[in-house]
Structure 1
Amino acid sequence: MQQVVLFGRVSSTNERQSFERQINDLTQLATKLNYRVVSVFAEKISGATKNAARKELLNMIEFVNSNQIDKVLVTELSRLGRDTLQVLQTIEILNQNKISLYIQNYNIETLTPEKQINPMSQFLITILAEVARMERKTIENRLASGYMNFRNAGGGVGRKAGFRKSNEAMKDQYTEEIKMLKKGYSFTHINQITQTNKNTLTKLKKLFID
């Protein structure tokens, strides 16, 4: 019997939403497919929130990587988040650990029974990746335009001279990164989850781990 975890999410901006329906639907699906549900993870948070601030998502990733889990079940891809790039990064982490993502509304898995990339899911992911690239390009263009307009209007940019973030502030801001460093996660793995650059991770390791 394959071991699975369930993951649900609803937006924190809608007080009437509950992830109970998602979990019930996934539980019924698991029963129908003869899967053994090992654990359930659910969060009430905006899908646009960065992965590094989504403790339940990070807990789920850590759990499936540390246990004999075959699949993660979600009702739809957006339950992993609304930021396409971050969703793709989460899928890539699962793929690297040979853990399939089962997307209920598409009735599709990211891996085949042989733990290889599913061509159909890869096609879907490729489309999403292109959408993410277009979104990032649009945002970059807007930021560049706003930056130039601000500079042309005489605005100053950059940190104030002498500014240096305190160690306590660093510890508060990068709590999850520090936890992962203490558990021996590689810089590359942490960067994939949180997008924290390697220079910052090096500094965190020097301050709080070494």
Structure 2
Amino acid sequence: MNAVIYARVSSTNDRQSTDRQVSDLNGYASKNDINVVKTFEEHISGAKRNEERPILCECLDYCIKNKVDILLISELSRLGRNVDEVLANVKRCKDNNLNIYFQKENLSIFQADGTKNPFLNIFISVLGTCAEMERENIKFRLNSGRAKYIADGGKLGRKEGYRKPKEQKEVEYKEVIKELKKGTSVRRAAKLCDVSVSTVQRIKAEFNL
């Protein structure tokens, strides 16, 4: 059985790594005599729409085109944090007979006998709805805390005259710099690295790229 691994983290810098996900999934494949033919790794928010996640799109296209048996993902949230987007990906895989295995949840689209898992869509909907509610709660708490801070006389933003050291930018925007060095356009680099166009333009100018 041939498999592809897809791993994702939200951070575009070195704060997060896909190494653990890839290692765990390779371990699972090895124990189950599954041959991993390719690994896709993406640094982008799971809240993005499917079409805004180029590596995920490339991964699914590769699996379908090459008739890969199973796509290995560490947990459901790696596929996306929006219920509709996740369900759309699952449907596409179902329609093309591509199985997906979510390691944390121990769930897959197709069961051992080849039949569709009757609980998967229900599980996705419930889990996704809970995740969306939690995000809204976090957003509410952040906005509430920010409003109180301002009401108490606090000021948001950087101190006047502050400039981030170039060395810090080099680390923080490593992926942006890498894309620009490859000749990627400003807008494309911004989309791939999940930053604003103006940020990419500033990095391009500062590093003479």
TM-score when scaled to structure 1? 0.58
CA distance in 2, matches of 1:97, 1:113: 17
Matches within 5 A, 1:54-133: 54-128=53-127, 131=129
Structure 1: which 5+ runs fail to align?
139-171, 174-210
Structure 2: which 5+ runs fail to align?
137-186, 189-209
Structure 1 residue ranges, 4+ long, deviating more than 6 angstroms after superposition = none
Aligned to 1:39: 38
Q: Give, in angstroms, the shift of residue 32 of structure 1.
A: 0.6
CA distance in 2, matches of 1:30, 1:58: 22
CA distance in 2, matches of 1:118, 1:75: 18
CA distance in 2, matches of 1:31, 1:85: 32
> What residue identity is the alignment partner of 1:91?
V
Q: Give, in angstroms, the shift of residue 46 of structure 1.
A: 0.9
CA distance in 1, matches of 2:54, 2:12: 18
Asked if the contact 2:5–2:36 (Cα under 8 Å) also holds between the matched residues in 1, the reply is yes
CA distance in 1, matches of 2:102, 2:8: 14
> What residue identity is the alignment partner of 2:31?
K
Asked if the contact 1:99–1:115 (Cα under 8 Å) also holds between the matched residues in 2, the reply is no
Q: Give, in angstroms, the shift of residue 123 of structure 1.
A: 3.2
Q: Give, in angstroms, the shift of residue 85 of structure 1.
A: 1.3
Asked if the contact 2:2–2:35 (Cα under 8 Å) also holds between the matched residues in 1, the reply is yes
CA distance in 2, matches of 1:122, 1:32: 27
CA distance in 2, matches of 1:122, 1:83: 13
CA distance in 2, matches of 1:75, 1:126: 18
**Aligned-partner SS, 1:118:** coil
CA distance in 1, matches of 2:124, 2:94: 12
Q: Give, in angstroms, the shift of residue 99 of structure 1.
A: 1.0
Q: Give, in angstroms, the shift of residue 72 of structure 1.
A: 0.6
Q: Give, in angstroms, the shift of residue 59 of structure 1.
A: 0.3
Asked if the contact 1:100–1:111 (Cα under 8 Å) also holds between the matched residues in 2, the reply is yes
Q: Give, in angstroms, the shift of residue 53 of structure 1.
A: 1.5
**Aligned-partner SS, 2:67:** coil
Q: Percent identity?
A: 35
Aligned to 1:187: none
- Classify 1:60/1:13 alpha carbon distance in 2 versus 1 (closer, same or farther; 3 Å): closer
> What residue identity is the alignment partner of 1:78?
S
> What residue identity is the alignment partner of 1:73?
L
Question: Structure 1, residues 11-55: CA drift from partner, whole Å, max 9, x if none?
Answer: 126641000110011000000111010111110011111111211
TM-score when scaled to structure 2? 0.58
Q: Give, in angstroms, the shift of residue 126 of structure 1.
A: 4.7
CA distance in 2, matches of 1:123, 1:50: 21
Question: Structure 1, residues 41-86: CA drift from partner, whole Å, max 9, x if none?
Answer: 1100111111112110010111011012111111100011212211
Asked if the contact 1:50–1:86 (Cα under 8 Å) also holds between the matched residues in 2, the reply is yes
- Classify 1:66/1:114 alpha carbon distance in 2 versus 1 (closer, same or farther; 3 Å): farther
